[in-house]
């Protein structure tokens, strides 16, 4: 069977494989409340459309959601890779990625969600992507957990921490999700700007100073 179309509700589970699960095509309607399974060893290329109430990815291999999916429930990846091409994860939903599983975000923007659970641990508000949430999240897209990040110009305050000899940067809580960038030698090649690991999920960072390094700069910017 190449496609499932028409009206009604599909329950339990549907082994999609390389097929297309379409609900609501040609004037029909329907919902899917069960499990989307992708147990192959390669990309399944699956398109899911309309009325999907939630997605649970099980089994090895890659399951691709490439269409204009409109499911409103939670997204759970227990094994393998769930690849989402468009930023359509519901803002009031929870995304859960188990140990060894991967959520691949192929869009170039930030998808806001209510909660994110990685390897059984709920994550604080912030932006999560291939930089801040590896190896659970890959691809070019990001998930924003919690309230919207302020896009107003940000100011990073700094002060010396005498006990440790480090430089402490702090910024406003409504700018959590912004990242501290530096060109410091030792973390990357000299002269290249790169984000301080983990800075997108906090509002302060302590940077150990090396007096042998010169022309070191820092900036706070939105990813």
The model's pLDDT over 68-112, given as tens digits with 9 standing for 90+, comes to 666 778 999 999 999 998 888 888 899 999 999 999 999 988 888
Res 202 pLDDT > 60 = yes
Residue given tokens 């022309």 in the structure block: 215
Cα separation, 55 vs 70, in Å, equals 11
Are 135 and 39 members of one domain?
yes
Res 67 pLDDT > 80 = no
Chain centroid offset of residue 81 CA: 13
Question: In this predicted structure, what is the pLDDT of residue 69?
Answer: 65
**Which segment of 37-46, 78-87, 211-220 scores lowest on mean pLDDT?**
37-46
Between 8 and 21, residue with greater pLDDT: 21
Domain boundary pick from 118, 145, 172 = 145
Are 135 and 181 members of one domain?
no
Between 35 and 4, residue with greater pLDDT: 35
Between 196 and 31, residue with greater pLDDT: 196
Containing structural domain, residue 29: 3-145
Q: Grade residue 142 by pLDDT with cuts at 50, 70 and 90.
A: very high
Omega into 135 within 30° of 0, i.e. cis? yes
Question: The pTM is what?
Answer: 0.53
Q: Grade residue 141 by pLDDT with cuts at 50, 70 and 90.
A: very high
151 located within any domain:
no
Number of Cα atoms under 13 Å in the Cβ half of residue 90: 15
Are 133 and 64 members of one domain?
yes
pLDDT (tens digit, 9 = 90+) per residue, 108-124?
888 889 899 999 999 98
Question: In this predicted structure, what is the pLDDT of residue 19?
Answer: 44
Res 185 pLDDT > 70 = no
Q: How many domains does the chain have?
A: 2
DSSP for 97-111 reads E-TT-EEEE-SSSEE
150 located within any domain:
no
Residue 99 Cα distances to 87, 178, 200, angstroms: 23, 26, 22
152 located within any domain:
no
In this structure, which long-range contacts are made by residues 13-22, counting pairs with CB atoms below 8 Å and at least 24 apart in sequence? 13/37, 15/39, 16/44, 16/46, 16/63, 17/44, 17/46, 18/44, 18/45, 18/46, 19/46, 20/46, 20/47, 21/46, 21/47, 21/48, 22/47, 22/49, 22/50
9 located within any domain:
yes
């Amino acid at each position: 069977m190449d496609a499932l179309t028409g009206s009604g509700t599909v329950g339990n589970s549907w082994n999609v494989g390389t097929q297309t699960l379409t609900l609501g095509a040609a004037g029909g309607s329907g919902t899917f409340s069960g499990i989307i399974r992708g147990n192959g060893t390669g990309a399944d290329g699956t398109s899911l459309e309309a009325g999907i109430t939630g997605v649970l990815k099980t089994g090895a291999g890659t399951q691709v959601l490439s269409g204009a999916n409109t499911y409103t429930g939670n997204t759970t990846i227990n094994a393998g890779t769930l690849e989402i091409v468009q930023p359509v994860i519901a803002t009031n939903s929870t995304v859960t990625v188990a140990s060894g599983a991967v959520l691949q975000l192929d869009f170039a923007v930030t998808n806001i969600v209510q909660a994110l659970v990685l390897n059984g641990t709920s994550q604080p508000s912030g932006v999560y992507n291939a930089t801040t949430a590896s190896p659970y999240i890959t691809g070019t897209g990001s998930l924003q957990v919690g309230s919207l990040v302020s896009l107003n110009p940000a100011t990073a305050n700094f002060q010396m921490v005498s006990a440790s000899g480090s430089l402490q940067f702090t910024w406003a809580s409504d700018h959590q999700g912004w990242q501290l960038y530096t060109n410091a030698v030792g973390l990357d090649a000299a002269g290249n700007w790169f984000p301080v690991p983990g800075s997108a999920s906090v509002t302060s960072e302590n940077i150990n100073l090396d007096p042998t390094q010169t022309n070191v700069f820092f900036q706070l910017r939105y990813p």
